[in-house]
Structure formats: structure tokens, C-alpha cells
Amino acid sequence: MKFFGFVVVCLVGGLLLYGTADFPDWGDPDSPASTHLSDIYIEHAFEQTQVPNIVTAILADYRGFDTMFETAVIFCAGLACFLLLRDFKERKERFYRHVPTGVILHVKNSKKALRVGRDFEHIDKDWIPSDLIIKTVCRILIPFIQIYALYVVAHGDFSPGGGFQGGVIFGSSLILLAISYDLKILVRRIKEKVLGICAAAGVLVYVGIAAICMPMGKSFLDYSALEMFVFDPHHVRALGMLGVEIGVGIAVAAVMAIIYINIVSEGRHDEGL
Amino acid sequence: MPWQIDMIVLFFVILCAVAAITVKDLLSTAILFGAYSFMMCLLWAVMGAVDVAFTEASVGAGVSTVFFVAAVFRTSRRTKD
């Protein structure tokens, strides 16, 4: 069976390689995409949208529908992760640590709960003493990572990046907090409800900006209809794209956190990596 | 761009891909996937697709590795085949 699978894989791989031989060369000026489409974008993207980064102009304006449904797909991924994994049952046994002595208590009765405060703290089942170096380095790094994420979202028009990448970077800063400290700290700081609302609100911001264009007399996703809302009508398309990118960023950051929390705690949101 | 760099990076991409499916330890596989994504990111950057390279670096090498590690943490670390 293994040999048979190997043969099939080799055949399919050979077919794929054979198929790629017909592709145009990398950067070939005579390829179909370069002869018709790219010229128009390169020549007219800046004067039509006032956005220096053509990739962002194509993704958020010319191909706005694609990006809108991509955001919806990301939202669906978070929703699926939540629906599959979320487990609302409380864990029966709990572990506490007596802070002054370091004695660990294992409470098997689910009704009995110790008061967590100065004397006792919750710990995970496989608890390792947290490292001072890791904690300190992450505490210094996380704010910079988050500022960088906001920069990536805000500068999507001018430099590489945009809502998706910025959202992923922001989400990974939250994940870094959970890894370096404790999952409980992240769950306590940012409630599950807030994450869910953020994920849905991001998609709603995108669709909302797109839909507002219709009562203003233009078609769906035509940002030039928003002229009366912005202070700089010349750059209305760039500002419309910025609003859309912010929506994408919010949705992606929340979904990344939702997926991580649900996977790492098996849906119980109590203990994890 | 000198073609030698392309070839070296491409060699490492294939090496990481082959290693990722042969290694028995799933945690190593997650790390190898991260390395694979990073090499692909370098390739995109060499080809001038900076936006794609950025996405590959943040999603492929960053977040998806963490998701793999989290999944390995909650399941088993060794594969049977």
C-alpha cells in the first residue's frame, strides 16, 4: 500500500511538473497577464486611487469583493474553531499553589474552591515555574509589536502590508502574552465576548463601508461616494481603503486569538501552553 | 539577483519539505514547517513580491507554527507512520 501511494505521488508530481513547463517565464513581458492587465494597473492605479502601493490598490479597491469575502472566510474559520472546540463544562479538579511556601494543592472536589489572592494562586496541571527572563523580555517586546502592527495597518497604502498582515501581527502579540505568562492572563484581560464581537465587527466595518456607498448614489464598494464624509476629498479612495483595512485588521487579530485560545486549552479556556 | 542565492534557498526549501514529512516527532515537523515558510518568504522577497513575502512571514512562519505547536501540545507528539 505504501509503495502504491509512493507511485501515485510520483505520477501526480511528475504531471504537475510537466504542467508547469507550459507556464510563461517569471517576469515574461509577453505572458497573457502582462500584455493586457498589468499595464492598465501600473499606468492608471495611482491617478485613479491615489495609493502608491499598487498591490493594496488592487486588493482593496479593484478586487474589493475578493478581500471582503476573504475576511468573511477568516471570520468563518474562527467561528468553526469556536463551535467545534468550545467546551463550557468546568474542569472537575483544580490545582492551587500556596505562594509563600510553594506547596501545590490538588482539589478533586469541584464544589470546593479556595480563595485566590495573596496566599493561593491558580496553576495549570503541568505547571512549570515561569522564567523571569522570558517574562521580562516579552513584557518589553509586546507593546512594540503591537505598535508595529498598527503601523503596518496604517501604512498599507504606502508600503508592503495591510490589514491582514497587521491583524496577524497584533494577534500574535496577544498569543505571545499567553505563551510567556499564562493563558489565564490573556483570557482575563480580553474577554471571550470582546474577541467575538471584534471578529464580527471587523467584517461589519468592511461591509458597512462598502454598503454606505450605495445610498450615496454609487455602486457597492465604490469609495468615491464617500466624499462628504472625509476631510480630504482628493484622497477619498485611499481613505476608504484605510477604513476597510482597519476592519480587516480587527477581524483577523480577534480570530487569531480565538483560534489559539480554543486550540491550546481544548476549548475550556482555563489552562494552556 | 545572483542565481546562486536562488538555488541555495530553493535547496533548503526542498530539504525542509522532505524533512517535515519524514521526521517522526510532530513538534519538529511544526518547526520545520516554520523554516520552510521562512525560506519561501525569502524566495518571494527575491522575486520582488514583497507583500506576499510579508504575509508568508507573518502567517506561515509566525502564527501557523504556533497553531501547530498548540495542536501538538494537546494531541500526541509522535506519529505512527
What are the phi and psi torsion angles at B68 (to 5°)?
Answer: -60, -45
* Cell, residue A248: 480587516
Contact B51 A162 (CB under 8 A): yes
Query: What percentage of residues in chain A have a pLDDT greater than 70?
Result: 100
In the prediction, which pLDDT does A216 show? 87
Question: What pLDDT was estimated at residue A101?
Answer: 83
What does the alpha-carbon distance between residue A49 and residue A61 come to, in Å, rounded to a whole number? 8
Judged by CB atoms closer than 8 Å, whether chains meet at A260 and B53 is answered as no
Q: Cell numbers 525542509 label which residue? A: B16
CA angle A72-A265-B55, nearest 5°? 40
Which one of B50, B59, B67 has the shortest CB-CB distance to A263? B67
In order of A42, A56, A159, A162, B4, the CA distances from B50 in angstroms are 16, 12, 9, 12, 20
B1 pLDDT more than 70: no
Local structure of residue B78 (DSSP, 8 states)? B
Contact: A168, B62; criterion CB under 8 Å: yes
Residue A257 has a pLDDT of: 94
Cα A243–chain centre separation: 16
Task: Give the per-residue pLDDT at A124.
Answer: 78
Q: How many CB pairs under 8 A join A and B?
A: 50
A160 touches chain B (CB under 8 A): yes
Say how far apart CA A66 and CA A43 lie, in whole Å.
22
Residue A162 and residue B54: Cα distance in Å, rounded?
A: 10
Domains of chain B, residue spans:
3-74
- CA separation for the pair A224, A32 (Å, rounded): 30
Q: What is the mean pLDDT of residues B6-19?
A: 92
Whole-complex ipTM: 0.90
Longest dimension (CA), chain B: 44
Provide mean pLDDT across the span B49-64: 91
Residue whose C-alpha is closest to residue A68's, from A196, A210, A226, A197 = A210
Query: Do residues A95 and A122 lie in contact, with contact meaning Cβ atoms separated by under 8 Å?
Result: yes
pTM of this prediction? 0.89
CB B58 within 8 A of CB A148: no
**Backbone angles phi and psi of A124, in degrees to 5:** -80, 165
pLDDT tens per residue, chain A (273 residues)? 889 999 999 999 999 999 998 888 877 888 888 888 888 888 888 888 888 888 888 988 899 999 999 999 999 999 999 999 998 887 777 788 888 888 888 888 767 777 777 788 777 777 777 788 999 999 999 999 999 999 999 998 888 888 899 999 999 999 999 988 888 889 889 999 999 999 999 999 999 999 999 998 888 888 888 888 888 888 888 889 999 999 999 999 999 999 999 999 888 888 777
Positive or negative, the CA dihedral A101, A105, A111, A112 is: negative
Flag if A160 and B63 touch (Cβ within 8 Å): no
C-alpha A183 chain-centroid distance: 18
Chain A residues with CB under 8 Å of B51 CB are: 53, 55-56, 160-162
